[in-house]
A = this chain, B = another copy of it.
Amino acid sequence: MPDRGDKDVDMNEKSVSFSEGQTQNVPYIHKIGVPPKPNLVKEFKTTVKETFFPDDPLRSFKDQPKSRKIVLGLQAIFPILEWGRSYNFNKFRGDLISGLTIASLCIPQDIGYSKLAYLKPQYGLYSSFVPPLVYAFMGSSRDIAIGPVAVVSLLLGTLVSNEFDPDTQPDEYLRLIFTATFFAGITQATLGVLRLGFLIDFLSHAAVVGFMGGAAITIALQQLKGFLGISTKHFTKDTDVISVMKSVFKNAHHGWNWQTIVIGASFLAFLLVAKYIGKKNKKLFWVPAIAPLISVILSTFFVYITHADDEGVAIVGKIDKRINPPSIDKIYFSGENLVKGIRIGIEAGMIALTEAVAIGRTFASMKDYKVDGNKEMVALGTMNVVGSITSCYVATGSFSRSAVNYMAGCQTAVSNIVMSIVVLLTVKFLTPLFKYTPNAILSSIIISAVIGLIDIDAAILIWKVDKFDFVACMGAFLGVVFKSVETGLLIAVVISFAKILLQVTRPRTAILGKIPMSGVYRNIEQYPEASKIPGVLIVRVDSAVYFSNSNYIKERILRWLTEEEEEDDDLKATKIHFLIVELSPVTDIDTSGIHAFEELYRSLRKRDVQLVLANPGQQVLDKLYASGFPDLIGENKIFLTVADAVHTCSPKLNHEV
């Protein structure tokens, strides 16, 4: 291979003239930058670093003494050691108030969500005790509120109940729940340790909006069961809207209980009004935050004094008041239940992760601090692993409680510690009080909570911005509503991938024209005032040229040429002699792409058109030289800018024409 460093581009460099300031005077034609031969090892290192360590986690460790390194290492694993040192009473006041607020919100939610997962109420409370504590020591988000959430509870309940019936096989059911929780944690921690956090980026925003909306509707519909007082035995376990509505109406004549409906409907109205007040006046955020607890207290008291439970109003019943019994012996570590647990754990873990990371990022960007995605995953994973051996099911960040936490003025993760202590005290001392709590009130609380997950504004924005994204959003939504949570998820992921692949397969190309009074060439569709240069066709390729699109790009360019020539024939205009391909947006090329350009060159030569390249980037130029392409078309056919290329081509044209 020739030494490329020495190859100067052979080009008629005309006299250079200067003007004042930034004014430029063409014709001075700058050489294209042929970079030195890249160092393979260095390039590989850069790719690995950008893929797995874009945040340069070891940066602060550099040039530090060993003892300092150990301290930094511990602080990296337990951020509380870092921020805890500057913790003060002022901050604690904020954390105490917000911790108490989210505790009052989480207790009724926990009891309700554990029903979504077909679990006894205490497991929801357990999951609001251990995981938030672990997170407080390891997590880097200051605003997230940890605990069970509606969507993950529904997903876990659906997946595990497909394997074991929670009514007839309660032991196996519970064991598989803990197994799945354990592997959800392992999945999350592994992604963090292997620095594969970017995998969750593959679930697009649009897909998440649709998925959440669908899950919210599914969950709300399922609450009709508790809301109408239909007994669990008569109700379907399917989550799609058609099965649920069938179940509801099949039970209409004998299963509905009017007392239950009255209680549920009046408190739902109360909760929705509270929510509305909180939305209208941000200072009254605590109204919707404590409304659920007030509803629970009022309705429990009401049932207790009226003995409504004897009238068929279903109540929560006795809650076990032991504190988080150990459950490590319940996890399946062998057999086919292990495989099921791993599969369910991976799914639930990924969804939980997506939610937590989205919440972490949202609030971090509002307060402008940085959440380290990979470290966050390790924290979430550890908390779920620890949770799985202490009778918790998958916990993650709850959007509604995190928002309340933020608005109540939380300062650090200490608010999670406050919340978990309140939950602990509740389990220990207050569970007897929940005995007479009607199930209908829990349904009302869940309905009013999940309504917030239906984000119509976001869906409208998605429709406005990108129709394809909207299809992904609706696909996920309809999949969840009409089939199942898993189907919706699958649809969302498939459509998201299809979009990326379509963009890579059928990239855009554009014809460029000269913007008047400038040396700038732009898409003539976007800038109708841009004018074409007679005898020259300028095409811009808007994507990396890969095997998946190289053939399309070649044929598209030739098609532009054919169309242009036909138009020229009609107008009796100058025949096209130069085809300039603007490569600025072409970030990379592979062997298939180079073959396509070689074929393009040959086809053009047959048509007596010269191929000229403008502004190839570093990667592209590198690979073109490696394959000897510049020797084929002539090195003086590669230019820094379209303007330079046109300037060099046009005079030749005048000779010929």
Q: Which residues of A contact B (CB under 8 A)?
A: 1, 16, 18-19, 21-28, 30, 33, 35, 40, 43-44, 47, 50-51, 54-56, 198, 201-206, 361, 365-366, 368, 373, 458, 461-462, 464-467, 469, 496, 499-508, 510, 515-520, 522-523, 525-528, 542-544, 546-552, 555-556, 559, 584-588, 590-592, 594-595, 599, 602-603, 606, 615, 617-619, 621, 623, 626-627, 640-641, 643, 646-647
Chain B hits for A591, CB < 8 A: 205-206, 458, 461-462, 465-466, 469
In the bound complex, CA of A555 to CA of B374 (Å): 14
In order of increasing CB-CB distance, the 6 nearest A-B pairs are: A204-B547, A585-B585, A205-B592, A542-B587, A526-B618, A33-B527
For the complex formed, measure the closest distance between the CB of A619 and the CB atoms of chain B, giving whole angstroms. 7
Closest to A588 in B: B503
In the bound complex, CA of A19 to CA of B22 (Å): 15
Chain B hits for A469, CB < 8 A: 590-591
For the complex formed, measure the closest distance between the CB of A611 and the CB atoms of chain B, giving whole angstroms. 14
In the bound complex, CA of A551 to CA of B204 (Å): 11
In the bound complex, CA of A555 to CA of B506 (Å): 28
Q: Out of B365, B496, B551, B588, which one reaches A602, CB within 8 Å? A: B365
Q: Out of B50, B496, B523, which one reaches A618, CB within 8 Å? A: B523
For the complex formed, measure the closest distance between the CB of A395 and the CB atoms of chain B, giving whole angstroms. 24
User: Is A505 a contact partner of B23 (Cβ separation < 8 A)?
Assistant: no
User: Is A603 a contact partner of B365 (Cβ separation < 8 A)?
Assistant: yes
In the bound complex, CA of A588 to CA of B542 (Å): 9
In the bound complex, CA of A206 to CA of B522 (Å): 34
User: Is B617 a contact partner of A526 (Cβ separation < 8 A)?
Assistant: yes
User: Is A26 a contact partner of B24 (Cβ separation < 8 A)?
Assistant: yes
Chain B hits for A23, CB < 8 A: 25-26
Chain B hits for A506, CB < 8 A: 47, 50-51, 54, 198
16 further A-B contacts with Cβ under 8 Å, apart from A204-B546, A466-B623, A469-B590, are A24-B24, A28-B517, A30-B516, A51-B505, A201-B551, A203-B547, A206-B591, A365-B599, A365-B602, A464-B626, A465-B623, A466-B590, A500-B501, A507-B587, A518-B640, A543-B544
User: Is A555 a contact partner of B24 (Cβ separation < 8 A)?
Assistant: no
For the complex formed, measure the closest distance between the CB of A6 and the CB atoms of chain B, giving whole angstroms. 16
User: Is B520 a contact partner of A30 (Cβ separation < 8 A)?
Assistant: yes
Chain B hits for A464, CB < 8 A: 1, 626-627
For the complex formed, measure the closest distance between the CB of A454 and the CB atoms of chain B, giving whole angstroms. 17
Chain B hits for A56, CB < 8 A: 559
User: Is A54 a contact partner of B461 (Cβ separation < 8 A)?
Assistant: no
Chain B hits for A499, CB < 8 A: 546
Q: Out of B203, B504, B551, which one reaches A361, CB within 8 Å? A: B551
User: Is B526 a contact partner of A35 (Cβ separation < 8 A)?
Assistant: yes
In the bound complex, CA of A550 to CA of B505 (Å): 20
In the bound complex, CA of A77 to CA of B420 (Å): 73
List 13 contacting pairs A-B, 8 Å CB cutoff, sorted by A: A22-B647, A23-B25, A24-B517, A24-B518, A33-B527, A54-B552, A205-B590, A361-B599, A368-B603, A465-B591, A500-B548, A508-B587, A543-B544
For the complex formed, measure the closest distance between the CB of A156 and the CB atoms of chain B, giving whole angstroms. 25
In the bound complex, CA of A588 to CA of B615 (Å): 20
Chain B hits for A621, CB < 8 A: 526
In the bound complex, CA of A500 to CA of B588 (Å): 11
Chain B hits for A618, CB < 8 A: 510, 523, 525-526
Chain B hits for A25, CB < 8 A: 19, 23, 517
User: Is A467 a contact partner of B54 (Cβ separation < 8 A)?
Assistant: no
Chain B hits for A606, CB < 8 A: 368
Chain B hits for A595, CB < 8 A: 205
Closest to A504 in B: B500
Q: Out of B21, B198, B458, B559, which one reaches A54, CB within 8 Å? A: B559
Question: Could you say which of A366, A528, A547, A548 has the most chain B C-beta atoms within 10 Å of its C-beta?
Answer: A547
Closest to A556 in B: B54
Q: Out of B502, B547, B585, which one reaches A206, CB within 8 Å? A: B547
For the complex formed, measure the closest distance between the CB of A628 and the CB atoms of chain B, giving whole angstroms. 9
In the bound complex, CA of A547 to CA of B492 (Å): 13
User: Is A22 a contact partner of B519 (Cβ separation < 8 A)?
Assistant: yes
For the complex formed, measure the closest distance between the CB of A87 and the CB atoms of chain B, giving whole angstroms. 23
User: Is A505 a contact partner of B198 (Cβ separation < 8 A)?
Assistant: yes
For the complex formed, measure the closest distance between the CB of A32 and the CB atoms of chain B, giving whole angstroms. 9
Chain B hits for A527, CB < 8 A: 33
Chain B hits for A627, CB < 8 A: 461, 464-465
User: Is A517 a contact partner of B466 (Cβ separation < 8 A)?
Assistant: no
Chain B hits for A496, CB < 8 A: 547-548
For the complex formed, measure the closest distance between the CB of A293 and the CB atoms of chain B, giving whole angstroms. 34
Q: Out of B373, B520, B544, B590, which one reaches A204, CB within 8 Å? A: B590
Chain B hits for A54, CB < 8 A: 506, 552, 555-556, 559
Q: Out of B47, B55, B544, B640, which one reaches A555, CB within 8 Å? A: B55
For the complex formed, measure the closest distance between the CB of A541 and the CB atoms of chain B, giving whole angstroms. 10
Chain B hits for A508, CB < 8 A: 587, 619
Chain B hits for A602, CB < 8 A: 365-366, 368
Closest to A603 in B: B368
In the bound complex, CA of A179 to CA of B56 (Å): 56
A461-B591, A592-B204 known; A35-B525 Cβ under 8 A? yes
User: Is A548 a contact partner of B465 (Cβ separation < 8 A)?
Assistant: no
Question: Could you say which of A43, A466, A528 has the most chain B C-beta atoms within 10 Å of its C-beta?
Answer: A466
In the bound complex, CA of A1 to CA of B461 (Å): 12
A201-B548, A505-B198, A525-B618 known; A30-B517 Cβ under 8 A? yes
Closest to A525 in B: B618
For the complex formed, measure the closest distance between the CB of A9 and the CB atoms of chain B, giving whole angstroms. 13
In the bound complex, CA of A508 to CA of B47 (Å): 10
For the complex formed, measure the closest distance between the CB of A119 and the CB atoms of chain B, giving whole angstroms. 33
For the complex formed, measure the closest distance between the CB of A319 and the CB atoms of chain B, giving whole angstroms. 41
In the bound complex, CA of A476 to CA of B40 (Å): 22
User: Is A594 a contact partner of B548 (Cβ separation < 8 A)?
Assistant: no
In the bound complex, CA of A461 to CA of B627 (Å): 7
For the complex formed, measure the closest distance between the CB of A49 and the CB atoms of chain B, giving whole angstroms. 10
In the bound complex, CA of A21 to CA of B526 (Å): 24
